[in-house]
């Protein structure tokens, strides 16, 4: 069953606004990965987090690995039209199995 709870499920924002989404779990994860998926494409890795408390940026994207190792958030600043898509958090349950959140569908009104 689903191990990661991702929220919100969807977001409708205006261009230029900041975006925040998060993932929580009842299990401890050693790695958190954030992906973006465009329609009809495979997910693209945005940010990888490895240490509790780690804060990492990739351009306008910032993600943090929660201190408890059971949660993570992703922020997007000053959103632009190409940010539209589905964002997934993912974490390793055990050494090999990557578990995905339900996804956050981002829609931007120009």
Partner 1 sequence: GAVVSQHPSWVICKSGTSVKIECRSLDFQATTMFWYRQFPKQSLMLMATSNEGSKATYEQGVEKDKFLINHASLTLSTLTVTSAHPEDSSFYICSARGQGAGRSYNEQFFGPGTRLTVL
> Which residues sit at the interface with partner 1, rule CB under 8 A?
2, 30-31, 33, 35, 40-45, 48, 50, 88, 90, 92, 96-103
By beta-carbon proximity to partner 1, the closer residue of 9 and 78 is: 9
By beta-carbon proximity to partner 1, the closer residue of 73 and 88 is: 88
Closest CA to 59 of 31, 82, 88, 40: 82
By beta-carbon proximity to partner 1, the closer residue of 78 and 98 is: 98
What is the spatial distance between Cα 91 and Cα 29, in angstroms, rounded to a whole number?
Answer: 6
Q: Min. distance of Cβ 44 from partner 1 in angstroms?
A: 7
Q: Min. distance of Cβ 19 from partner 1 in angstroms?
A: 19
Give the number of other CB atoms < 10 A from CB of residue 76.
Answer: 24
What is the spatial distance between Cα 65 and Cα 72, in angstroms, rounded to a whole number?
Answer: 5
């Amino acid at each position: 069953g689903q191990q990661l709870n991702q929220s919100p499920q969807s977001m409708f924002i205006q261009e230029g606004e900041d975006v925040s989404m998060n993932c929580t779990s009842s299990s401890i994860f050693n790695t958190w990965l954030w992906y973006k998926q465009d329609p009809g494409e495979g997910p693209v890795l945005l940010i990888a987090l490895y240490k509790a408390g780690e804060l990492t940026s990739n351009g306008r994207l910032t993600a943090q690995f929660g201190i408890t190792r059971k949660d993570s958030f992703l922020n997007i600043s000053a959103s632009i039209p190409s940010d539209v898509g589905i964002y997934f958090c993912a974490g390793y349950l055990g050494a090999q199995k990557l578990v995905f959140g339900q996804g956050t569908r981002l829609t931007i009104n120009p």
